[in-house]
Amino acid sequence: MSVIRKSNKLINVCYDIRGPVLQEAKRLEEEGQRIIKLNIGNPAPFGFDAPEEIVQDVIYNLPSAQGYCDSKGLFSARKAVMQECQKNGIRNVAIEDIYLGNGVSELIVMATQGLLNDNDELLIPAPDYPLWTAAASLAGGNPVHYLCDEQKGWAPDVDDIRSKITERTKGIVVINPNNPTGAVYPEAVLRQIISLAEEFGLIVFADEIYDKITYNGARHIPLASLSDDILCITFNGLSKTYRAAGFRSGWMVMTGPKHHARDYIEGLEMLASMRLCANVPAQHAIQTALGGYQSINELTVPGGRLHDQCELAWRKLNEIPGVSCVKPQGALYLFARLDPEVYPIKNDEKMALDLLQQQKVLIVQGSGFNVPDTQHFRLVFLPREDELCEAIDRIAAFLKNYSQE
* Residue at 311: amino acid letter: E
Contact between residue 249 and residue 237 where contact means Cβ atoms under 8 Å apart: yes
Q: Does 234 bind ligand PLP (CB under 6 A)?
A: no
Q: Which one, 88 or 178, has the nearer CB to ligand PLP?
A: 178
Minimum CB–partner distance for residue 24 and ligand PLP (Å) = 21
* Nearest-CB residue for ligand PLP: 103
| Helices 103-115/262-274 angle, 10° precision | 130
List, in sequence order, every beta strand (DSSP E) within 177-229.
Answer: 203-207
Distances in whole angstroms, Cα of residue 9 to Cα of each of 17, 144, 157: 20, 18, 31
Q: How many residues does the chain have?
A: 405
Binding mask 27-46 for ligand PLP (x = CB under 6 A): --------------x-----
Instruction: DSSP letter for 214, please.
Output: B
Only segment of 64-72, 143-151, 237-245, 262-270 that touches ligand PLP (CB under 6 A)? 237-245
| The one among 39, 88, 105, 367 contacting ligand PLP by CB under 6 A | 105
Only segment of 58-66, 102-110, 185-193, 342-350 that touches ligand PLP (CB under 6 A)? 102-110
Q: Does 104 bind ligand PLP (CB under 6 A)?
A: yes
Only segment of 103-111, 112-120, 147-155, 163-171 that touches ligand PLP (CB under 6 A)? 103-111
Site residues for ligand PLP, 238-257, by CB under 6 A, read 239, 245, 250
- Adjacency order of strands within the sheet including 250-255: 98-101, 250-255, 232-237, 203-207, 169-175, 121-126, 142-149, 155-156
Q: How far apart are CA 272 and CA 100, in angstroms?
A: 9
Would you list the DSSP string of 255-297?
A: ES-GGGGHHHHHHHHHHHHHT----HHHHTTHHHHHHS--THH
Q: Does 207 bind ligand PLP (CB under 6 A)?
A: yes
CA angle 154, 160, 162 (to 5 degrees): 130
Minimum CB–partner distance for residue 131 and ligand PLP (Å) = 6
Q: Does 73 bind ligand PLP (CB under 6 A)?
A: no
Q: Does 103 bind ligand PLP (CB under 6 A)?
A: yes
Q: Does 380 bind ligand PLP (CB under 6 A)?
A: no
Q: Does 329 bind ligand PLP (CB under 6 A)?
A: no
Only segment of 101-109, 150-158, 274-282, 301-309 that touches ligand PLP (CB under 6 A)? 101-109
Site residues for ligand PLP, 136-175, by CB under 6 A, read 175
| Helices 385-400/305-319 angle, 10° precision | 20
Instruction: Give the interface with ligand PLP as residue ranges (CB under 6 A).
Output: 41, 103-105, 129, 175, 179, 207, 209, 237, 239, 245, 250
